[in-house]
Chains A and B, each alone.
Chain A
Amino acid sequence: MSILVNKDTRLIVQGITGREGEFHTRQMVDYGTNVVAGVTPGKGGGWVAGIPVFDTVQEAVHATEANASIIYVPARFAPDAILEAADAGIELVVCITEGIPVLDMIKVRAWLDCLPTRLIGPNCPGLITPGEAKVGIMPGHIHTPGPVGVVSRSGTLTYEVVYALTQKGLGQSTAIGIGGDPINGTDFIDVLRLFEEDRQTEQVVLIGEIGGTDEQRAADFIAHNMSKRVTAFIAGQTAPPGKRMGHAGAIIEGGEGTAAEKIAAFEAVGVQVARHPEEIAELVQRQV
């Protein structure tokens, strides 16, 4: 899917001099992503893995015409990093960081809604257009280019599914992790809309989990707006109510957000729901 990230992506890494930032910069560069700059306030003028480091996102954009940014910055500083990137005119900001306070994200998202910047995440693995650009922490080698769009709230569960798809020769157009937080920058409907418009994507895999109503609203969107087939999987059928299952957004509250209600919502609109992750690839294969 060349709408979000592709060969033309010029990527800034915010937090490039940190341990995570540096490690993943090298991984992304190895994959072939065009990483053009790094930003760490106070470390401008330095270099990491052959990438020039700047003090501010504004300077980095000015010097390199960067159009995307990925953030590996601790939770207490991440909202500021997102806002800085948006203010510098970055069109796509991917925030990997887990642990950002919800009230911070309410403000950040409300602010970004008035700007052209699209945020992916936070608390997400990023996104990858196989063969073109990896903007995230996913293992590149399990992906391969192809016609299946993948969108997920999870990290390793997404890799599990992608791995099974690749093994069956079902490549991915783009695989996007929207993250596990209750308030994020991009939801299922946002991505489904892009997949529906993307010529390379022929069918879609959606991986959801307990908590919130994103999947239920997506089911309604699919029924009214999508011609392409969607296959789903929902994690957390055995999750108890009221307990946070790792992800801040993975919690059944007031009886709402159960896996059962999400599965029912999808089945009601004709979306097949796999019983376990490996079954997704089988269901997708039957549709090809």
Chain B
Amino acid sequence: MKLHEYQSKQLFARYGVPIPKGDIATTPEQARQIAARLDSRVVVKAQVLVGGRGKAGGIRLADDPDEAEQIARQILGMKIKGLPVRKVLLDEAADIETEIYLGIVIDRAQRRAVMMASAEGGVEIEEVARVTPERIFKITIDPFLGLQPYQGRSLAFGIGLPKQLLSSFVKIAQGLYRAFLECDASLAEINPLVVTEEGQLLAVDGKMLLDDNALFRHFELAEMRDADEETPEEQEARRHGLSYVKLGGEIGCMVNGAGLAMATMDITKLYGGEPANFLDIGGGAQAEKVAAALRIILSDPNVRAVLFNIFGGITRCDEVARGILAALEEVPTEVPMVARLVGTNEQEGRRLLAAADMITATTLAEAAQKAVAAAQTTRT
């Protein structure tokens, strides 16, 4: 789950990370009031869950409350990479001397949380990793010992931090790790962590990604979810316990199992089509869940054919067939369907679908080819 900059920074602040004075505005008038209250130059920052806000004109400096109101009016309601800006953060502008990168990620190969620091702050860390990897300093954090001060110091020395900032940097690093740990994050990043002209460290930006699997034990954090992060269909899917990702193609896919669902998407492309979505109905899906899944797929106007690939182990093919037929009664459609059902109760499942004039197939390759062909017929 993605958190906004303002949410990430508020969490970081709880763990002792210094952040700029600032507040959120949802209207230009609020922006003016906040700027007036801060009584300084402010940065007006679009709060959207995508990168590249600056380049899109979503981060701008305002010299006074009038300008803050004007800029907020322009930024609010803007769309950045398709997402509407509903909130802006107004932060007291800092006088920046240097920019540092400080972040924590999960390194899968090491099976550890890794903290990275770089004197190349303010740019994408992936770019630094690509161009000048030697400018990134990393420490591996032991899951039982936690982040040790000497590790924080090694990062500070690596990036050439002025000696007088050593202990406050270590405190910030420890605070960041505690935030990461206690919020069950998979990413916690301060980019940039600046050294101000007054010689203080300040987290001017913040980003956190939370582990979806851990949200069950973070009710307060789960409530911070921004509905805009997901499309309405993805939200609907999540409500039904389905895994759904919208893509751009014309072959809708319904499959049981994530790996098989990905393979099914891939095979439609192999035979000349494009997948419209990833959809995993999970194991043992009941008719009602299948019906919900079909409704979601058919709500996509790009879909010109639907491919069902069900390999039934716990999942019963006849149950899936009933679900498909139930959905078709609720959502009658002209869109052609190809069903490939293999496994538990496959005979019964196929019998039920054949009675509904559905195109059937025995192999996945055959099903994919038929779906692609059916989609082309629909187009013409």
Contact = CB atoms under 8 A, between A and B. Distances in A.
B243 A278 contact: no
B213 A100 contact: yes
A264 interface: no
A281 B262 CA distance: 19
Contact of A157 (B126, B247, B260, B270): B260
Given A103-B181, A156-B256, A245-B258, A240 B211 contact: no
Given A238-B265, A246-B278, A159 B311 contact: yes
12 contacts: A102-B106, A110-B112, A139-B344, A156-B257, A156-B260, A159-B311, A182-B108, A183-B108, A235-B260, A236-B265, A238-B266, A277-B364
A209 interface: yes
Given A103-B143, A139-B313, A154-B259, 13 more contacts: A102-B214, A110-B144, A139-B344, A154-B260, A155-B257, A157-B259, A217-B109, A233-B263, A235-B259, A238-B269, A238-B275, A276-B263, A277-B260
Contacts of B270: 275-276
A267 interface: no
A137 B313 contact: yes
Nearest to B312: A139
Contacts of A217: 109
Contacts of B261: 245-246
Contacts of A229: none
Contacts of B342: 163
Interface in B121-177: 126, 129, 142-144
Interface in B84-132: 106, 108-109, 111-113, 126, 129
Interface in A231-286: 233, 235-240, 243-250, 254-255, 259, 275-278
A276 B211 contact: no
A158 B256 CA distance: 12
B262 A99 contact: no
Interface of B: 106, 108-109, 111-113, 126, 129, 142-144, 181, 184, 186, 211-214, 216-217, 243, 245, 247, 255-263, 265-270, 274-275, 278, 280, 283, 311-314, 342-344, 363-365, 368
A182 B259 contact: no
A103 B214 contact: yes
B262 A210 contact: yes
Contact of B144 (A75, A107, A163): A107
Max chain A CB contacts within 10 Å: which of B257, B262, B266? B262
Contact of B263 (A76, A107, A240, A277): A277
B344 A244 contact: no
A249 B144 CA distance: 23
B106 A237 contact: no
Contacts of A107: 143-144
B111 A106 contact: yes
A137 B258 contact: no
A156 B313 contact: yes
Contact of A237 (B214, B269, B283): B269
Contacts of A23: 314
Tell me the interface secondary structure of chain A in the complex: loop
Contacts of A235: 259-260, 262-263, 266
B109 A213 contact: yes
A212 interface: yes
A259 B265 CA distance: 13
A212 B108 contact: yes
Interface in A131-182: 137-139, 142, 152-160, 163, 180, 182
A278 B217 contact: no
Contact of A109 (B111, B144, B269, B363): B111
A101 interface: yes
Nearest to B216: A76
A250 B258 contact: yes
Nearest to A152: B259
Contacts of A213: 108-109
A182 to B, nearest CB: 5
Given A183-B111, A212-B108, A238-B269, A246 B313 contact: no
Task: Give 8 closest A-B pairs by Cβ, nearest first.
Answer: A246-B258, A154-B259, A156-B257, A157-B259, A101-B214, A235-B262, A139-B313, A157-B260
Contacts of B112: 106, 110
A65 to B, nearest CB: 30
Contact of A101 (B211, B311, B344): B211
A232 to B, nearest CB: 13
Contacts of A154: 257-260
B262 A163 contact: no
Max chain A CB contacts within 10 Å: which of B212, B256, B261, B283? B261
Contacts of B212: 244, 248
A207 interface: yes
A154 B263 CA distance: 11
B258 A180 contact: yes
A153 B312 CA distance: 18
B257 A276 contact: no
B48 to A, nearest CB: 15
A153 B263 CA distance: 13
A24 B268 CA distance: 33
Max chain B CB contacts within 10 Å: which of A23, A142, A277? A277
Contacts of A101: 184, 211, 213-214, 217
A244 B278 CA distance: 10
Contact of A102 (B211, B259, B262): B211
